[in-house]
């Protein structure tokens, strides 16, 4: 693990690290665009208006995928210690998981009949928006923790705690959402209910994935003597 820290100090690592930061920032764009689409859907109840926004999430996730593939190609070409290559690959994969979750939500939402969202209670709508806003706040720390990790590694623990706190808030809001959903009578078929449940599972997984990035970076740091 220590060899990764040494690698981060080399000038030859600059391009790969710069791309890792850009990758994290592209993933943040996915989260923000999903928030934009979800809020419009819940406030205006118009799938046509939100179609382009959710499609943008798909496009941004594709851009994040391209950055990930370029990074993996760079790593495979470099003369790296196998442990360093593995550690970087795992970190990149965890960052990419965040964008994948965003796209998973965006793609599925378009299959849910608008009448489901129209039948949601005010409390349910408010909780969904709160979950998404808290997830956006959590994602704001994604590039920050990556930047600090590749630079001086002085604030990783503090940033990681902020991410953990936001993820926990999402968990608590999600429990309230599940209760609120069951307090409402929906006139939709069972497959719609199943799909919506799947959407909310993946929505919660966005902050879980961000926390996964932070936890993995902490594992890398605590495995190095002196950190």
What is the predicted pLDDT for the residue at 84? 74
Query: Is residue 10 included in any domain, yes or no?
Result: yes
Locate 198 and state its tokens: 């799947």
Which domain range does residue 76 map to? Answer: 2-222
Kindly report the pTM of this predicted structure: 0.91
Query: Is residue 120 included in any domain, yes or no?
Result: yes
What is the predicted pLDDT for the residue at 17? 76
Query: Is residue 21 included in any domain, yes or no?
Result: yes
CATH of the domain at 198: 1.20.58.220
DSSP per-residue string spanning 102-134: HHHHHHHHTTS-HHHHHHS-HHHHHHHHHHHHH
What is the enclosing helix (H) or strand (E) of 210?
A: helix 190-222
Query: Is residue 138 included in any domain, yes or no?
Result: yes
Query: Is residue 84 included in any domain, yes or no?
Result: yes
The DSSP secondary-structure symbol of 121 reads -
Total count of domains within the chain: 1
Cβ-contact 28, 133 below 8 angstroms: no
d(CA 205, CA 208): 5
What is the predicted pLDDT for the residue at 224? 58
Query: Is residue 227 included in any domain, yes or no?
Result: no
What is the predicted pLDDT for the residue at 193? 94
Per-residue model confidence as pLDDT tens for the chain (227 residues):
445 656 655 555 666 778 889 999 999 999 999 999 999 999 988 888 899 999 999 999 999 999 999 888 877 776 666 777 788 889 999 999 999 999 999 999 989 999 999 999 999 999 999 999 999 999 999 999 999 987 778 899 999 999 999 999 999 999 999 999 999 999 999 999 999 999 999 999 999 999 999 999 998 887 654 54
Cβ-contact 64, 99 below 8 angstroms: yes
What is the predicted pLDDT for the residue at 3? 56
Query: Is residue 208 included in any domain, yes or no?
Result: yes
């Amino acid at each position: 693990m220590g060899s990764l820290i040494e690698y981060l100090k080399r000038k030859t690592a600059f391009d790969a690290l710069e791309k890792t930061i850009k990758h994290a920032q592209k993933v943040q764009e996915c989260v923000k665009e999903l928030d934009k689409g979800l809020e419009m859907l819940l406030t205006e109840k118009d799938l046509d208006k939100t179609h382009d926004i959710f499609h943008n999430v798909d496009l941004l996730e594709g851009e994040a995928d391209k950055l990930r593939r370029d990074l993996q190609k760079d790593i495979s070409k470099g003369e790296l210690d196998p442990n360093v290559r593995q550690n970087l690959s795992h970190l990149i994969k965890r960052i990419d998981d965040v964008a994948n979750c965003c796209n998973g939500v965006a793609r599925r939402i378009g299959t849910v009949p608008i009448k489901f969202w129209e039948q949601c209670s005010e409390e349910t709508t408010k909780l969904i928006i709160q979950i998404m806003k808290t997830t956006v706040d959590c994602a704001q720390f994604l590039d920050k923790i990556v930047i600090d990790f590749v630079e001086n590694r002085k604030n990783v623990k503090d940033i990681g705690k902020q991410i953990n706190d936001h993820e926990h808030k999402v968990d608590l809001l999600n429990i309230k959402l599940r209760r609120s959903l069951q307090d409402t009578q929906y006139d939709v078929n069972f497959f719609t209910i199943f799909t919506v449940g799947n959407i909310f599972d993946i929505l919660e997984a966005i902050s879980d994935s961000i926390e996964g990035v932070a936890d993995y970076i902490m594992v890398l740091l605590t495995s190095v003597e002196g950190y």
